[in-house]
Amino acid sequence: MKDLVPERYALAFRLYPYAKSPDQDAASPVRHKVVVVGGGPIGLATALDLGRRGVPVVLLDDHEGAGLGSRALCFSKRTLEICDRLGAAGPMLDKGVQWNLGKVFHDDRLLYAFDLLPETGHAFPAFINLQQPWFEKFLHDAIVQAQAEGAPIELRGRNRVDAVTPATDHVALDIMTPDGPYQLQADWLIACDGARSPLRGMLGLAFDGRVFEDNFLIADVKMKADFPTERWFWFEPHFKSGDSALLHKQPDDIWRIDFQLGWDIDRAKELEPANIRARVDAMLGPDVEYELDWCSIYTFQCRRMDKFRHGRVLFAGDSAHQVSPFGARGANSGIQDVDNLAWKLALVLDGTAPETLLDSYDVERVHGADENILNSTRATDFITPKSPVSKLFRNAVLELAEHLPFARSVVNSGRLSVPCTYDGSVLNGDDHPAMPARTRPGSPCPDAPVADGWLLRRLGRGFVLMAINTDAPECLAAHGVRVPRLALDATPELTARYLGEARRAVYLIRPDQHVAARWESFDESAVAAALARAIGKG
């Protein structure tokens, strides 16, 4: 029999095998509240977040689990914090390799070392290295756990979306399965179908940006080596295996090596194991024994959609924006999309917030995508200079960096992913001038140790009124939202991160743990007004 939904790639983990759904035999298309297309990290996290908020969600993917191969590796502190809220961070932290330190080399010289998290008092490290299939598996484990606790999440493997037809109050989908086609309708459709997004194509939407004319060979090698757990980056490495090289440790004695190969290459030839080995041997030296675990060649692009919301279709993750991997801003920014979107969609669905709240998803995450694209474009231009003069200056910076601290700040081997502050967002409310800039409205809350654990855990996943050294009602109800209070006594960390020059503070915090507004003391009408703003009623 003909395979109606052929596999496009091999799987590392089969997570949600195809099972026929009653929807496939329904006389007319069944309507669902939310359909997510794509079961990559972003689709899985979206389904998990919505499901844990009680929103019924159906996820469709044309495969049955996590694809094999080397893609995302570095997951940021903010991603871990979000995954912690989603109940998935524990296993990630256990399995992942934690790191905060990086070293930068030019040729055979160490230029400098850097610490990504020079500050203590955070539950999570700056980064963990974890192979993407494991990241997806742990999200899936958390989905299974959430389902067991009653979260209305349904995953449908080998369900390929072949057509989308937007209508005024829903989106219609044509789906292919091993048992043939069927149709569904969705009140809201979230397209997490990756950088090549077939949905984007079906809707005729553009995805413009820049292609970098360079090829990168990614080799994952298995070896017992005693390199430290640090990110090592070489510009013009002495071992000549590429114009730049990167070495990173992964779990299970696997190391990620990236070589920059240039533009005019013979891909097939470069991928021959003997040629890959020649490069790896030159880098590691003749005596190191290793096995090639997985190798591939990538070219990179930086681009985004004009808008992430198109009526009832919302784009998230790589389908909406794509960056070069320098800075690990791909999956990490997609997870921030999820964080931003899920609570808004949940409030719109239960009628608490107007539909226009979803436009703020577009505005805020386009802002995030632009920041990520700018950062990774600049890193790529520094790593792979595009003209002789750009290379001249790049090498001048590297030469100076060995001796002069100022030049180190200019060296750009990737500005590693940090969460975006939604400056200027329509959802932002009052600010207070005496309080620190890092927690101004729009900022993600920095973690801090508190009496029984960590601040971010205490914030949870709804609106919270955080009162430091001051009083506020135990619970406030306004505009259909219940806002519990979190009363805290100032500690050195809370003072540095939230009070600044102020003696006390009241913070209204959004469900995605970004600051909505802040004051020196509680004022019911001010808080209610800020809350209205933050749910799009302002």
Partner 1 sequence: MLITTPNLTKPDETYAALIATHEGLSEAGSHALNARLILILMNHIGNDAVLAEALRLARDPESAQG
The backbone torsions φ and ψ at residue 407, rounded to the nearest 5 degrees and listed phi first, read: -70, -25
CA 267 to chain centre: 29
User: Of 322, 310, 216, 346, whose CA–CA distance to 271 is shortest?
Assistant: 216
Task: Answer yes or no whether residue 37 interacts with ligand FAD by CB under 6 A.
Answer: yes
Closer by beta carbon to partner 1, 263 or else 393: 393
Q: Residue 46 binds which entry of ligand FAD, partner 1, none, with Cβ cut-offs from 5 to 8 Å by kind?
A: none
Closer by beta carbon to partner 1, 407 or else 478: 407
Q: What is the 3-state secondary structure (H, E, C) of 51-95?
A: HHCCCCEEEECCCCEEECCCCCCEEEHHHHHHHHHCCCHHHHHHH
**Taking the CB of residue 3, how many other CB atoms lie within 10 A of it?**
8
Task: Answer yes or no whether residue 71 interacts with ligand FAD by CB under 6 A.
Answer: yes
Closer by beta carbon to ligand FAD, 325 or else 536: 325
The contact pattern for ligand FAD, residues 179-198, with x = CB under 6 A and - = no contact, is -------------xxx---x
Q: How far apart (Å, rounded) are the C-alpha atoms in residues 321 and 340?
A: 15
Q: Which tokens sit at 356?
A: 């226009």
Task: Answer yes or no whether residue 39 interacts with ligand FAD by CB under 6 A.
Answer: yes
**Contact with ligand FAD (CB under 6 A) among 42, 338, 476, 527:** 42
Closer by beta carbon to partner 1, 396 or else 477: 396
CB of 106 to partner 1, least distance (A): 13
Site stretch for ligand FAD (CB under 6 A), options 40-48, 268-276, 422-430, 445-453: 40-48
For residues 366 and 359, is the Cβ–Cβ distance under 8 A?
no
Q: Which tokens sit at 368?
A: 């995030």
The phi-psi region of residue 337 (left if phi > 0; otherwise alpha if psi is between -120 and 50; otherwise beta) is alpha
Closer by beta carbon to ligand FAD, 194 or else 441: 194
CB of 463 to ligand FAD, least distance (A): 27
**Contact with ligand FAD (CB under 6 A) among 131, 260, 332, 340:** 332
Give the number of C-alpha atoms closer than 13 A to the C-alpha of residue 323, restricted to the C-beta side.
30
Parallel, antiparallel, or unpaired: how do β-strands 127-129 and 153-156 relate?
unpaired
CB of 126 to ligand FAD, least distance (A): 13
Alpha-carbon Rg for the chain in angstroms: 24
**Taking the CB of residue 474, how many other CB atoms lie within 10 A of it?**
9
Q: How far apart (Å, rounded) are the C-alpha atoms in residues 88 and 97?
A: 16
**Taking the CB of residue 277, how many other CB atoms lie within 10 A of it?**
14
Q: How far apart (Å, rounded) are the C-alpha atoms in residues 158 and 514?
A: 36
CB of 393 to partner 1, least distance (A): 5
CA 226 to chain centre: 30
Task: Identify residue 200 by its one-letter amino acid code.
Answer: R
Total count of residues recorded for the chain: 538
Closer by beta carbon to partner 1, 274 or else 389: 389
Q: Name residues contacting ligand FAD, limited to 425-464 (CB under 6 A).
A: none
Q: How far apart (Å, rounded) are the C-alpha atoms in residues 82 and 365?
A: 16
Q: What sign for the dihedral angle of Cα 467, 473, 475, 478?
A: negative
The contact pattern for ligand FAD, residues 132-151, with x = CB under 6 A and - = no contact, is x-------------------
CB of 59 to partner 1, least distance (A): 47
Closer by beta carbon to ligand FAD, 71 or else 170: 71
Site stretch for ligand FAD (CB under 6 A), options 16-24, 279-287, 316-324, 355-363: 316-324
The contact pattern for ligand FAD, residues 218-257, with x = CB under 6 A and - = no contact, is x---------------------------------------
Residue, CB closest to ligand FAD: 40
CB of 489 to ligand FAD, least distance (A): 36
Per DSSP, 275 falls in state H
DSSP per position, 153-164:
EEEETT-EEEEE
Binding residues for ligand FAD, rule CB under 6 A, total 34
CB of 383 to partner 1, least distance (A): 17
For residues 322 and 330, is the Cβ–Cβ distance under 8 A?
yes
The contact pattern for ligand FAD, residues 2-31, with x = CB under 6 A and - = no contact, is ------------------------------
The contact pattern for partner 1, residues 383-422, with x = CB under 8 A and - = no contact, is ---------xx-xxx-xx---x-xx--x------------
Task: Answer yes or no whether residue 9 interacts with partner 1 by CB under 8 A.
Answer: no
The footprint of partner 1 (CB under 8 A) covers 392-393, 395-397, 399-400, 404, 406-407, 410
The footprint of ligand FAD (CB under 6 A) covers 37-43, 60-63, 70-74, 132, 160-161, 192-194, 198, 218, 298, 317-319, 325, 328, 330-332, 334
